[in-house]
C-alpha cells in the first residue's frame, strides 16, 4: 500500500528504530516509545491474518514482553491490538502493541505516553535488544 506508513517503514522509505526483523514480521519502536509487532505483508487488521502468521506475531510478542520486563525493568507489560477505527485502530496495517508498564503509570491502556528524545529512544531499543540477545525466559 503506497500510502501506508508501516509499509514505508518496512521498505526503508521511512527510518525506524528496528528491534527485530524476520521474513514475515518487523518489530520497531513506535513514536510513543513501545515496540510494535507488525506483519510485513500489508494486512489491514486481525481478520486477514492466517493461523501461521498469527502464531509468528504472538511468538514475537512473547519474546518482546520478556525483553521489556527484563531489559527495561518494567513492573508489567500490556499487550493489545485494535481493529478498525471504532476500536481505536489508527494505522490500517496489522500491528500489536507490546507496552512496558510501571506501577506509577496506573496501568491505563489509553494513557498518553511521554515523548522521549532521540538518546532515550536509542537507550530503550538497546536495552530491549540486549535482553532479547540473552534469550532469557526468567525474570
Measured between alpha carbons, how far is residue 71 from residues 54, 135, 138 in Å?
25, 11, 12
Mapping DSSP to helix (H, G, I), strand (E, B) and coil, where does residue 29 land? strand
Q: Which fold has domain 5-134?
A: HIT family, subunit A (3.30.428)
Beta bridge partners of 26: 21, 38
For residue 12, give every residue at least 6 positions away whose Cβ sits within 8 Å of its Cβ, in sequence order, or none: none
What residues act catalytically?
95
Q: What is the pLDDT of residue 134?
A: 85
Domain ranges of the chain: 5-134
Beta bridge partners of 97: 36, 80
Question: Is residue 67 a contact partner of residue 131, using CB atoms and an 8 Å limit?
Answer: yes
Asked which of 31-45, 77-91, 120-134 is least confident by mean pLDDT, the reply is: 120-134
Specify the residue for cell string 528496528.
Answer: 18
pLDDT tops 70 at residue 68: yes
Q: What is the pLDDT of residue 139?
A: 46
The whole-angstrom separation of Cα 132 and Cα 43 is 26
| Tens-digit pLDDT profile for residues 24-55 | 999 999 998 999 999 999 999 999 999 999 99
Q: What is the mean pLDDT of residues 47-67?
A: 97
Amino acid at each position: 500500500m503506497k500510502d501506508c506508513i508501516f509499509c514505508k517503514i518496512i521498505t526503508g522509505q521511512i527510518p525506524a528504530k528496528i528491534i527485530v526483523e524476520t521474513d514475515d514480521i518487523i518489530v520497531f519502536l513506535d513514536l510513543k516509545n513501545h515496540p510494535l509487532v507488525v506483519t510485513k505483508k500489508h494486512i489491514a487488521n486481525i481478520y486477514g491474518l492466517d493461523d501461521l502468521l498469527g502464531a509468528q506475531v504472538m511468538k514475537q510478542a512473547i519474546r518482546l514482553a520478556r525483553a521489556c520486563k527484563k531489559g527495561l525493568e518494567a513492573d508489567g507489560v500490556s499487550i493489545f491490538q485494535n481493529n478498525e477505527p471504532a476500536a481505536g485502530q489508527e494505522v490500517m496495517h496489522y500491528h500489536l502493541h507490546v507496552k512496558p508498564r510501571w506501577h506509577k503509570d496506573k496501568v491505563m491502556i489509553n494513557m498518553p505516553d511521554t515523548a522521549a528524545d532521540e538518546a532515550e529512544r536509542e537507550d530503550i531499543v538497546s536495552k530491549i535488544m540486549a535482553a532479547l540477545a540473552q534469550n532469557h525466559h526468567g525474570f
